Structure 1
Amino acid sequence: MDFSKHKKGTTSIWAGETKKVHQGSSTVPIFNTVTFAYGDLDDWYEVAQGKQKGHIYSRNTNPTVQVLEEKICVLEGAEDAIAFSTGMAAISNTLFSLLKPGDRVVSIKDSYGGTSKLFLEHLPKFNIQVELCETEDHEQLEREIEKGCKLVYLESPTNPTLKILDLQRIAKAAKKTGAVVVSDNTFASPINQNPISLGVDLVIHSATKFLGGHSDTMCGLVCGKKELVRKIYGYREINGASLHPDAAYMVIRGMKTLELRVQRQNESALKIARYLNEHPKVEKVFYPGLESHNGHDIAKKQMSGFGGILSFELNGGYESVKSLLHNMKFVHLAASLGSVSTLAGPPRTTSHVELTEAQRKHLGISESLIRYSTGIENVEDLIADLEEGLNKV
């Protein structure tokens, strides 16, 4: 079915699910099987050679997982997709399958902490050079790309300070040098932003977050150009970081309410950001929906919504952070985001727990920062909860 004329709320439900499935089930069956049997050796061989559609071994492909991959392809406008056991598996497999010793990567200083650790510690072990630029300095990014690189790795909005990159501008610069452009779209979700339409080659999601949406399963997704996705698939086939069909089913189920949840979270996060922006105990609010945000104009151009994540700095340092978070009722102090329930915490225990305090400081992440992932609770209750907690700081 051609979904190009349909809205994302419809696409989230029906993409990958329009074909008749086993016994006419109206939900995607979970194919909990390791292997797939064939009654004819010639058919088995044709499938093994890729000349005929089918499945052989669930480490490679699985019907339940395939529905999820088709769904993200349609939502992101991608040619192909591949699922992983976690978001970090998606990121690391992408990097290690596309890079080799001697290659050069250009990226930003504000990427997710696990990604930063790959850039700072692991890729250099394989003689892969990494140049990390100031995130909002597009001129520096363009200069470094012009020097030559194999891959450009982006993230917008960034985790945890919600900085915004002009994806179209950077992708255009990368195309001039033939570099592959990869962008982590976890914070935005495909409801709010589609990097492929802006010139990005590969889009990564930690589907553990907004796509799954309920903090009950883990998954990573990579989608984009078929040629590149097939390379990553070849690496994952041997690396083994495949997605279990049970987890695929959970993400598929979560994605059916994706648009509803994200729209609610967009609206609530903006109201909360505006409330915090006026509070005397709050030093600074980071949310691209605020007109005062450095990247607001770019975000308006490339996003249809500003997302459910915001962060803010408190006066009084880390003790104020502890005081506020310990005096709030409607929040899980937990290291994730994008859930139906509100989650919050400082980077030292969430996005950048892998890094030292000195490394976080180098990246401009203060110890007084709180990342706040807005759930789908009533926003008036969330603001009242923040008010009560801030009164005790």
Structure 2
Amino acid sequence: MNYHEKAKMGTKSVWGGEKDYLVHGASQVPIVPSVAYTYDDMDEWYEVATGRKKGHIYGRNTNPTVQAFEDKVKVLEGAKAATSFSTGMAAISNTLDTFLRPGDRIVTIKDTYGGTNKIFTEFLPPKAIEVQFCETGNHEEIEREVEKGCKILYLETPTNPTVKITDIERMSRAGKAAGALVVVDNTFATPVNQNPLKLGADLVIHSATKFLGGHADALGGIVLGDDEEMVEKVFHYREINGATMDPFAAYLLLRGMKTLDLRVKRQAENAMKLAQYLQKTDLVDEVFYPGLPTHPNHDIAKKQMSGFGGMLSFSVKGGVDTVRDLLPQLQYSHRAANLGAVETTVGPARTTSHIECTPEERAAMGIPEGLIRVSCGIEDAEDIINDFDQAFSYVKNVVKI
């Protein structure tokens, strides 16, 4: 047994996947910016180039720093194989393009990230690929549609931005019974809180830009699975089409992941405290956080997650007008289209997760224009809550909503 299998998540975050890449006595994985790799032995070069021997040929295919990043996430997710990408959306789109062909059918949920939703509504139908949307959380409906036949069952849980929950184990059983490939976007949960492969999924996807990196300074994506041949197909598609991760980004993501366990646990603590505060706030209509007993799928979240994550959202009275008045008053939050960083980050879905969608499309997904997404950082929870409190006070007393 690999000793990493016995280690706790904090230890895996620090040590996982790095030892093979430490050179010249260095304690940190180096950045290897080389585009090409030279060989004196022509036969060895051929063996590496044809995949019969481990090694590197060209940067679009593989890179030592990037491979170290992949190996670390493999350890964290408990996966046997992984391939990385330049962005999270590249990981999603390349995976779908690898397996879907004209005439195929995909079953998914209505509440996926806006960019993912655009792939389903705008890019796949012209390729003669049918996309069937189901109500998120309606497991019976999803099972009925999967039984009709599909190539891929695509899930995202918790969802962006309304943090809805889908039972991965139950849906994986349904998918496999129908011969479908079960793909789960695990970006919001992170490997610290949820491991879809252990719950029966075939492939798990992360936007590494978010919680994995954690410092909002590097783009990346990754796809992982236990079927090495399956992941190899995704890698082959990526190496030819070219959505390759940059080695400097891989280095930054590796460095960020060393504190993943610490960050994510602190962010989850802060999210729970903020969610509880928001529930008692006059200007708030509804709070969405899977850690709250009021969440419609709280029991499923408790079953499949070891923590409820750092993401929450809430809707405000007064809609967009309140959003415009409230958010600029926050002193300890970035108003930006990002999440998972050490700093708290806020924004409405209309300018963050679902900016690509029309107001009508957002409404159809159950996303009100007055919804605010919050990615809790690692600040002291008391300061985050006090900051929101003074912002709400401003809206009530100065703007007088």
**TM-score interval for Structure 1 and Structure 2 normalised by the shorter chain:** over 0.9
Specify every segment of 5 or more residues in structure 2 that has no aligned partner in the other structure, as ranges.
396-401
Which residue of structure 2 aligns with residue 82 of structure 1?
Answer: 83
Map Cα deviations across residues 149-168 of structure 1 (whole Å, 9 max, x no partner): 00000000000000000000
Q: Work out the CA distance in 2 between the residues paired with 1:21 and 1:9.
A: 20
Which residue of structure 2 aligns with residue 39 of structure 1?
Answer: 40
Q: Which amino acid in the other structure matches residue 164 of structure 1?
A: I
Q: Which amino acid in the other structure matches residue 240 of structure 2?
A: I
Kept in 1, the 8 Å contact 2:214–2:341? The answer is yes
Report runs of 4+ in structure 1 exceeding 3 Å deviation: none
Which residue of structure 2 aligns with residue 340 of structure 1?
Answer: 342
Aligned length in residues: 393
Q: Work out the CA distance in 2 between the residues paired with 1:240 and 1:116.
A: 23
Secondary structure of 1:82's partner? strand
Which residue of structure 1 aligns with residue 374 of structure 2?
Answer: 372
Which residue of structure 2 aligns with residue 166 of structure 1?
Answer: 167
Kept in 1, the 8 Å contact 2:105–2:149? The answer is yes
Which residue of structure 2 aligns with residue 245 of structure 1?
Answer: 247
Which residue of structure 2 aligns with residue 214 of structure 1?
Answer: 215
Which residue of structure 2 aligns with residue 295 of structure 1?
Answer: 297
Q: Which amino acid in the other structure matches residue 117 of structure 2?
A: S
Residue 311 in structure 1 maps to residue 318 in structure 2: no
Q: Work out the CA distance in 2 between the residues paired with 1:198 and 1:206.
A: 20
Which residue of structure 2 aligns with residue 186 of structure 1?
Answer: 187
Q: Work out the CA distance in 2 between the residues paired with 1:317 and 1:3.
A: 48
Which residue of structure 2 aligns with residue 58 of structure 1?
Answer: 59
Which residue of structure 2 aligns with residue 120 of structure 1?
Answer: 121
For residues 11-22 of structure 1, the aligned pairs below 5 Å read 11-19=12-20, 21-22=22-23
How far does residue 13 in structure 1 lie from its aligned partner after superposition?
1.2
How far does residue 21 in structure 1 lie from its aligned partner after superposition?
2.6
Which residue of structure 2 aligns with residue 110 of structure 1?
Answer: 111
Q: Which amino acid in the other structure matches residue 174 of structure 1?
A: G
Which residue of structure 2 aligns with residue 387 of structure 1?
Answer: 389
Q: Which amino acid in the other structure matches residue 312 of structure 1?
A: F
Kept in 1, the 8 Å contact 2:21–2:64? The answer is no
- When the two structures are superposed, what TM-score results if normalisation uses the length of structure 2? 0.97
How far does residue 20 in structure 1 lie from its aligned partner after superposition?
6.2
Q: Work out the CA distance in 2 between the residues paired with 1:50 and 1:82.
A: 15
- Percent identical across equivalent pairs? 58
- When the two structures are superposed, what TM-score results if normalisation uses the length of structure 1? 0.99
How far does residue 22 in structure 1 lie from its aligned partner after superposition?
2.0
Q: Work out the CA distance in 2 between the residues paired with 1:90 and 1:20.
A: 24
Q: Which amino acid in the other structure matches residue 347 of structure 2?
A: G
Q: Work out the CA distance in 2 between the residues paired with 1:78 and 1:13.
A: 17
Map Cα deviations across residues 73-129 of structure 1 (whole Å, 9 max, x no partner): 111111100010000000000000111100000000000000000000000010000
How far does residue 226 in structure 1 lie from its aligned partner after superposition?
1.3
Q: Work out the CA distance in 2 between the residues paired with 1:359 and 1:301.
A: 31
For residues 249-328 of structure 1, the aligned pairs below 5 Å read 249-328=251-330
Specify every segment of 5 or more residues in structure 1 that has no aligned partner in the other structure, as ranges.
none
Secondary structure of 1:392's partner? helix
Q: Work out the CA distance in 1 between the residues paired with 2:297 and 2:75.
A: 28
Q: Work out the CA distance in 1 between the residues paired with 2:41 and 2:20.
A: 25
Secondary structure of 1:310's partner? strand
Q: Work out the CA distance in 1 between the residues paired with 2:321 and 2:70.
A: 44
